[in-house]
Structure 1
Amino acid sequence: MILERLEQLPVGSFQYKLLFITGLGWLFDSMDTGLIAFVLPVLAKEWSLTPAQVGWIGSIGLIGMALGAVLAGTLADRIGRKKVFTITVLLYSLSTGMCALSWSYESLLFFRFLVGFGLGGELPVAATLMSEYAPSHLRGRFIVLLESFWGIGWLVAACIAYLLIPAFGWKIAFAIGTLPALYVFLIRLHMPESIRYLISQNRIDDAKQIILDLEAKLRVKSQPFATELSDTEKGKKATAAPKFATLWSKPFRTRTAMLWLAWFGIVYSYYGIFMWLPSIVYAQGFAVVKTFEYVLIMTLAQLPGYYAAAWLVDIIGRKYTLSLFLLLSGICSFFFGNASDASSLLAWGAAMSFFNLGAWGVIYTYTPEQYPTTIRALGSGWAAGFGRIGGMLAPMLVGLMLGNAMGMNTIFMMFASVLIIVSAIVIGLGKESKQKTLEELETVLES
């Protein structure tokens, strides 16, 4: 009865406020990732770092993200989504501030690891909380809109880098990164705990009170609750812990392999390209200010990429949109790596950004739909976690390739190849899931 009333709530100010609050978490995460990308070329010059050392600064955060995602996800099932969300926001914002006080290369690596740990923990918890409150018929749209805050965060980072770093130095970027700590107070005031989590912990009265409060805010006439839980809610309490081996059992092994490879390819290409993008543009001979300006223009293309993907997923489908955006991102990467002048660099960079970030929006929608409820969180978490391995490897590999005097065209040929291969894997192994309820998908997927 509790979950039925949650699903029947009209879409209104509560859902959009929750989207805004969780979206701010994604914005701050993206802002931090963008800031380190813009800081790297300045820092490398000031500290005389080798390309390999610069690559480690990018990769150490991804190692922290992988560990943070696993541990925070486990902790969120024990102490609640809201508490873990708050803790991880505090951790990454305060650690970002500590980066401004770094006294050596090694100390910066340590603080970047802590930042990554907080970021990795916050992202899946925010997405879980949003999905557990979004109405089922609009869940895909809400998740894509949540993901679009990542693009806004990169724009904020680009503006900070463009306006402040040339005048005040790289430390100002990290100092600004402490501001999300203030955001914790907004979380505490306006974010409720997940009702599904409360039911799983047998905190039925707390779950009922949240429903009553929401119905009052949305002006829905409240009815007394039944004394017994529905069969669905009893199942929420009694569900056994999902097993990793189930992901590789006969009904699921193909889509698990497809998702793991898709996540690896998209994370590998994203962090390999965008973590190094300001440095690569700078290496082409543009001044620092001009570099930030060019990357800002490329970053602006991310937002229409998200919205185009959000529109296409319900028209041509998740599978075809994801494959198409990966393919076009790969093609654009090739031409970006072979750009010979500023105009072509900007044009291909913007197109690459458009399609790569659009693919991100689709994969966050597509992944949970590939598993039934009993293993949905497990399957989604492992797919994203495996993808983080790509994020760890790519920045280091680019650093090594630059250190060995490999050109921009060689590096982007590699990224183009990865994206095109992954596009083919999705189109060949993926199963379409558009215009189906989660219950309909469960019947299809488990057959």
Structure 2
Amino acid sequence: MENTNQKSKSFTFLVIGMAWMFDAMDVGLLSFIMSIVHKEWLLTNSQTGLISSISTVGMICGGFYFGSLADRIGRKNTLIITLLTFSIGNLALAAAPGFYMFLAIRFIVGMGLGGELPVAATYIADMYRGPKRSQMLILADSFWAVGWLVASFLSVLFAPLIGWRGLLILTALAGLFALVLRRHIHEIHTLPTQSSEWYATLKSEFRPWTITLWIAWFMVMFSYYGMFMWLPSILLDKGYGIVSGFGYTTIIIVAQLPGYFCAAWLARRIKVKYVFSIYMFGTALGAIMFGQSTTALMIVIAGCVLSFFNLGAYGAIIALTPDLYENKIRGTMTGMAQGIGRIGAIVGPLMVGVLMDRQTSVNLVFVIFMISLVIGAIAVLTLPASQDSQKE
């Protein structure tokens, strides 16, 4: 019986992990599409950065709204709604006639994306306890790297044939996955709670260290989206053709997987906040290396260091956050933390676009990211040790 239950958990874990993959596919494809749309619509660098930023505004709203909804109507139904939101939105996005309509629709797509990850993380957190919970959350986040790889290959193989609109239609097919979710996962806890109980718990769980956690989330997303959404364009500015740029980016993305696996291994042995801080300091080192890279080999090595550590840090803070809150408000607080963090995801790409328009050196841009990463590492280290305790 226990073996059957374990198999059921493993299957459910894989199904939920696929939601991470589809999210990453969308974000990854947007990264590649940005450079294509930039040329097709003759956009400035600041306008191109705005595409990513407006999507992230939607993610913030989606994290707040759908995280709370998951505590009210259940994780499963909310996850299905988020999948359908960004899938149908991408179909509409493929038909966008111009830049401003593209921005409006991308906001809606962002809401679906922003709601999906905190709800999926909450579901995984509900399934496991103790160090196992941290490990499985980090492993679930490793599906993000798989999604980026799929996005990279789709871009290289199909972008010349079907264009960026066709790529968006392919992404929209992820909506069919909602049918799989509906048949193969179920609610773990009885929901919803009464509104009075929910508000009372929310008030009691909002402690001073929550702000510190939000600072760490801000720095993770500021650095991740600021660096990785612009990687193809930065490679082009360094003198590499678009195909070579995609190739380098793919190699860099592959380094994410061992970063996740090592972080998951560490999470079973040391506190997750220490795993996070180690990986943030490692990312800071990678940022300095990338900013000073002048050859293809140096770019690949520095990019791999960035990917290994930055995505491991991302997985670690995803593992840390749901474990800090009671089940009845876990979705709300996880969605809120990611939503606040995504303010950094707005500022990061926009900042890079503005600085590039002003001919700022790539080295200085990555020094700024290095400083933000160190701040994020220190922020989590200041959390009280009791916040790493496993509670339910």
Alignment of 1:385 onto 2:321: no
The amino acid that maps onto 1:196 is: H
TM-score after normalising by structure 2? 0.93
Paired residues of 1:144 and 1:364 also in contact (CA < 8 A): yes
Tell me the residue number matched to 2:109: 115
Deviations 1:90-127 (A, max 9, x none): 11012112222111001111121111011111111222
Computing the radius of gyration from Cα coordinates, the structure with the larger value is 1
CA distance in 2, matches of 1:283, 1:36: 18
User: Shift of residue 239 of structure 1?
Assistant: 4.3
CA distance in 2, matches of 1:58, 1:437: 36
Q: Secondary structure at the match of 1:102?
A: coil
Alignment of 1:438 onto 2:391: yes
Deviations 1:210-259 (A, max 9, x none): xxxxxxxxxxxxxxxxxxxxxxxxxx9994534655455xxx41x22321
Which residue of the other structure, out of 182, 190, 196, is the alignment partner of 1:197? 190
Over 3 Å counting, the alpha-carbon distance change for 1:242 and 1:158 in structure 2 is farther
Tell me the residue number matched to 1:280: 234
CA distance in 1, matches of 2:383, 2:188: 35
Alignment of 1:52 onto 2:37: no
Over 3 Å counting, the alpha-carbon distance change for 1:285 and 1:31 in structure 2 is same
Over 3 Å counting, the alpha-carbon distance change for 1:73 and 1:298 in structure 2 is same
Tell me the residue number matched to 1:209: none
CA distance in 2, matches of 1:426, 1:240: 27
User: Shift of residue 294 of structure 1?
Assistant: 0.4
The amino acid that maps onto 1:337 is: G
Paired residues of 2:134 and 2:272 also in contact (CA < 8 A): no
Tell me the residue number matched to 2:199: 241
Paired residues of 2:64 and 2:332 also in contact (CA < 8 A): no
Q: Give structure 2 stretches of 5+ with no counterpart.
A: none
Alignment of 1:300 onto 2:254: yes
CA distance in 2, matches of 1:238, 1:55: 41
User: Shift of residue 170 of structure 1?
Assistant: 2.0
Over 3 Å counting, the alpha-carbon distance change for 1:88 and 1:9 in structure 2 is same
Paired residues of 2:71 and 2:330 also in contact (CA < 8 A): no
Over 3 Å counting, the alpha-carbon distance change for 1:74 and 1:238 in structure 2 is closer
Over 3 Å counting, the alpha-carbon distance change for 1:121 and 1:378 in structure 2 is closer
TM-score after normalising by structure 1? 0.82
Tell me the residue number matched to 2:90: 96
Identity of aligned residues (%): 37
Question: What is the CA RMSD across the aligned residues, in angstroms?
Answer: 2.3
Alignment of 1:406 onto 2:364: no
Tell me the residue number matched to 2:301: 347
The amino acid that maps onto 1:333 is: A
Over 3 Å counting, the alpha-carbon distance change for 1:354 and 1:283 in structure 2 is same
Q: Tell me which protein shows more helix as a share of its residues.
A: 2
CA distance in 2, matches of 1:197, 1:272: 39
Paired residues of 2:273 and 2:380 also in contact (CA < 8 A): yes
The amino acid that maps onto 1:241 is: Y
User: Shift of residue 174 of structure 1?
Assistant: 0.9
Compare 33-42 and 181-190 and name the one that shifted more: 181-190
Over 3 Å counting, the alpha-carbon distance change for 1:197 and 1:166 in structure 2 is same
